[in-house]
Amino acid sequence: MDSNDFSTLEAPEWMLDELTHKPALPGRSYSKIYSDTQDQLKNSILPYSDNQEKKERNLFLTPQERDAIKIPETKWLVDKLIPLGSLVLLSGQPKASGKTTFVCHAMNSIVSGTPFLGLQTTQSSVVFVSEQSWTSLRDGYVVPSGLVHQKSIFITAGHEVSHLSWSRLIDEAISQCLDVSANLLVIDTFPAFAGLEGTAENDSGPIIKALKPLQDAVSRYEITILLVHHDRKTGGNVYDASRGSGALNASVDVLFQLRRQGPNDQSGYRILSSGGRFPRIPSEIVIYFDGHSFKYIGTQSDARAESARNLVMEIINENSPEALSRERIYFLLAADGVELTPKIINKALTDLVTNGRITQLGLGKKGDPFTYRVVDANVENPSEFYSFQDLSIGKEMNSKTQPYA
């Protein structure tokens, strides 16, 4: 064999991953991949001669050799939120944070190729392994999220796979992903299927063993695996809130924690915190669930300003078509038990006028004060929300809410 001929050289999986981020599908020929990257390989990995014993791989490279290998940019399932080909953990308090609701709406956007939280998605089929019965899952999540109308979401309910071992389940799930070209596998919840009985969830050994087939699948195939998990009762931040051994958090690529703004909060606001190996993912954002979809609000400061606009707009709507002075608005909000300072209310009014939501009347002087009313008494809240890219004034929610705290 010519020492510079790479056309028939079998590609080791580690180099295939670094060079292409492409899945090593069964039966796939690596010759074209090496041919396409011949110049890079000449500057990094020396080929084997005919009489040279073939090594498994060259384990050690200099910085210059590594820089000679062009690494593709990160691909995203949800832009700047969920990276493609990664192991992701989403945790939150059981029955309170809305994890499954959040995941189902995200899956619906990915399957349909529509934006999620104002972010572009890469359209893909999805495989969903749920611990819930089909009736419960369908009525509580699949129908409300819109997934019921999708033909590229493949679901198995808990009792249907309860007889399978964890390793067999993962083999079946990955095989299904490859069969239907799914780039996302969701397991809800991880402990329900991983065979972590008794105190095993708190031991690093069983956790690491359970994650091994997932890590192998992520490294070999261009698939994102999202594990849904519960927070411990005492809670905590994104790095230490999830239940069980810290080996789980340490082993995944991306951590997400979904929580309400307080233990007694019943509003639609949620805080989504993140951590991990992708610095482009924001460390914390505030989102809002209006009962139909999730909307991006912004930072917690953005959310407080959004909440103030919500409340001011509701007062103006309730008194439409009457034009209200600032003093009247102060009084009506206080009468509803809403604690907002005049400065915050004035800023909310200015934002609403700038956004075209309300009209400002009067000259703002003695005898002719500023007053405010809706632009069109027949049109209530227009559908304008923040997006990730546009932090301008967003839509106010239709339901009565307390200020974001």
Query: pLDDT tens across 258-282, in order?
Result: 998 877 777 888 999 999 999 899 9
pLDDT value of position 40: 43
Contact 257, 231 (CB under 8 A): yes
pLDDT band for 86, please (50, 70, 90 cuts). very high
Using only C-alpha atoms, what is the Rg of the chain?
26
pLDDT value of position 55: 53
pLDDT value of position 244: 87
Whether residue 168 is contained in a domain is answered as: yes
Domain boundary among 23, 39, 67: 67
Q: 220: which 2 tokens?
A: 């070999």
pLDDT value of position 274: 95
**Number of separate domains in the chain:** 3
Whether residue 129 is contained in a domain is answered as: yes
What is the rounded average pLDDT for all residues in the chain? 81
Same domain (yes/no): 291, 226? yes
Q: For the domain that residue 392 is a member of, what is the CATH number?
A: 1.10.10.10
pLDDT value of position 56: 52
Same domain (yes/no): 122, 89? yes
Q: 14: which 2 tokens?
A: 């580690």
Q: pLDDT tens for residues 350-373? A: 999 999 999 999 998 888 999 999
Query: 401 vs 147, which has greater pLDDT?
Result: 147
Same domain (yes/no): 404, 316? yes
CA-to-CA separations, 70 to 16, 86, 376, in angstroms, rounded? 12, 19, 57
> What is the average per-residue pLDDT within 99-125?
97
Same domain (yes/no): 306, 293? no
Is 152 strand, coil or helix? coil
Cβ neighbours, 10 Å, residue 179: 11
> What is the average per-residue pLDDT within 185-205?
90
Domain boundary among 21, 49, 67: 67
| 224-230 vs 371-374, strand pairing mode | unpaired
Q: 57: which 2 tokens?
A: 């791989």
Same domain (yes/no): 283, 383? no
Q: How many residues does the chain have?
A: 405
pTM for the full predicted model: 0.70
Q: Return the residue matching tokens 């505030």.
A: 286
> What is the average per-residue pLDDT within 388-402?
35
Q: Up-side HSE of residue 145: CA atoms within 13 Å toward CB?
A: 27
Of 40, 30, 38, nearest to 10 (Cα)?
30
pLDDT value of position 162: 87
Supply the range of the domain harboring residue 21. Answer: 13-67
pLDDT value of position 209: 94
Task: Please check the confidence at residue 219 and state whether its pLDDT lies above 50.
Answer: yes
Task: Please check the confidence at residue 8 and state whether its pLDDT lies above 60.
Answer: no
Whether residue 4 is contained in a domain is answered as: no
